[in-house]
């Protein structure tokens, strides 16, 4: 995904096998045995994640849901980026990772133009390399959003980016430096919604306190945040709807080795995806960022219990 705040390492789930960081082979090194499960019956499904809190949490949700059905799993340490972990998925040293449809499609097919959720998912299914598959996509999305304060939204009756478009010449927009040039950033908003902002304010690092302060203080009237950023709810911000899909869909989806994707595994993971919504991720991310900062495995367990999946 786009670079986000990293730093939470995956905590061991009670009863799960954790690979040792200091010994044995790297999670990206070929194992020689292919994917876990399937033809390699009895071997644990090795679950990886990117190195940011939400993705670590999703890996723990997958792991605990599978273990609850008697399926052996091994949770691997988080890996910094897709460029680092995807080779491990392809060579079979990682069997399963939580992914996001739009950015994974762009990684596999850089010239892909699909943006709507169903179109992105269909194109992603077609783009899957041999030996890999994606299971059911969830409703949950972690993607860019144009965000405004509640007061600004109410004052101007704003629900969508299209509603904002007539006001754009009077609006200062804040976002990370690259958003000003990204095809789906300022150029995309201009092309898709005929929105030309009065001013672009470069905010670094992306998201987080800098963006929250700029919006709250009125330094900008709109800004780029991710849809599952807990600061949206914490500050009463409004993420405007994107009816023309300027930002490509980024639905959470399990990426898995076909050897590991037995009928039982598919049933469990599809059941998890059926319960995941953007609001769920917002709430879970807020828990991860709360004052007591619980471990992802604890947050995962509590959510799975409330959904009847443990």
For 138-147, how does the pLDDT look when each residue is reduced to its tens digit (9 = 90+)? 999 999 999 9
- Axis-axis angle for helices 117-127, 101-108 (nearest 10): 40
* Fold match between domain 17-141+249-306 and domain 144-239: yes
Is pLDDT above 60 for 3? Answer: no
Q: Say whether 166 sits in a helix, a strand or coil.
A: helix
Is pLDDT above 50 for 8? Answer: no
- Is the separation of the CB atoms in 146 and 220 below 8 Å? no
Higher pLDDT, 291 or 230: 230
Tell me the CATH architecture of domain 144-239.
Answer: 3-Layer(aba) Sandwich (3.40)
Question: What mean pLDDT is predicted for residues 261-276?
Answer: 98
- Is the separation of the CB atoms in 144 and 134 below 8 Å? no
pTM: 0.82
Question: What mean pLDDT is predicted for residues 234-241?
Answer: 95
Q: What is the pLDDT of residue 187?
A: 97
Query: Rounded CA gap, 260 and 20, in Å?
Result: 22
Question: What mean pLDDT is predicted for residues 171-177?
Answer: 96
**Lowest-pLDDT choice from 35-39, 191-195, 213-217, 228-232:** 35-39
Q: Which CATH superfamily is domain 17-141+249-306 in?
A: Periplasmic binding protein-like II (3.40.190.10)
Domain boundaries, the chain: 17-141+249-306, 144-239
Query: Rounded CA gap, 33 and 219, in Å?
Result: 56
Is pLDDT above 50 for 266? Answer: yes
Query: Rounded CA gap, 198 and 178, in Å?
Result: 18
In tens, the pLDDT along 102-139 reads 999 999 999 999 999 999 999 999 999 999 999 999 99
């Amino acid at each position: 995904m786009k670079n986000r705040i990293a730093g939470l390492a995956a905590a061991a789930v009670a009863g799960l096998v954790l690979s040792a960081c200091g010994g044995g082979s790297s999670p990206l090194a070929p194992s020689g045995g292919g994917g876990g499960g399937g033809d390699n019956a009895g071997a644990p499904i090795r679950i990886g994640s990117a190195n940011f809190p939400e993705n670590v949490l999703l890996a723990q949700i997958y792991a605990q849901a599978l273990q609850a059905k008697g399926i052996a799993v091994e949770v691997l340490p988080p890996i910094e980026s897709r460029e680092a972990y995807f080779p491990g998925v392809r060579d079979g040293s990682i069997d399963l990772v939580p992914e996001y449809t739009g950015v994974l499609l762009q990684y596999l097919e850089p010239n892909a133009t699909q943006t709507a959720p169903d179109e992105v998912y269909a194109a992603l299914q077609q783009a899957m390399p041999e030996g890999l598959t994606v299971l059911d996509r969830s409703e949950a999305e972690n993607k860019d959003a144009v965000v405004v304060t509640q007061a600004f939204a109410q004052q101007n009756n704003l629900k969508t980016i299209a509603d904002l478009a007539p006001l754009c010449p009077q609006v200062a927009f804040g976002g990370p430096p690259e958003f000003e040039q990204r095809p789906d950033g300022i150029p995309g908003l201009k092309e898709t919604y005929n929105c030309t902002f009065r001013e672009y304010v470069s905010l670094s690092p992306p998201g987080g306190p800098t963006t929250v302060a700029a919006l709250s203080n009125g330094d900008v009237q709109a800004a780029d945040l991710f849809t599952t950023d807990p600061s949206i709810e914490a500050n009463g911000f409004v993420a405007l709807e994107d009816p023309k899909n300027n930002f490509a869909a980024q639905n959470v989806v399990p990426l898995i080795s076909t050897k590991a994707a037995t009928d039982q595994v598919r049933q469990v993971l599809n059941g998890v995806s059926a319960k995941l919504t953007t609001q769920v991720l917002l709430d879970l991310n807020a828990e991860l960022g709360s004052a007591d900062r619980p471990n992802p495995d604890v947050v995962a367990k509590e959510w799975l219990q409330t959904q009847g999946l443990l």
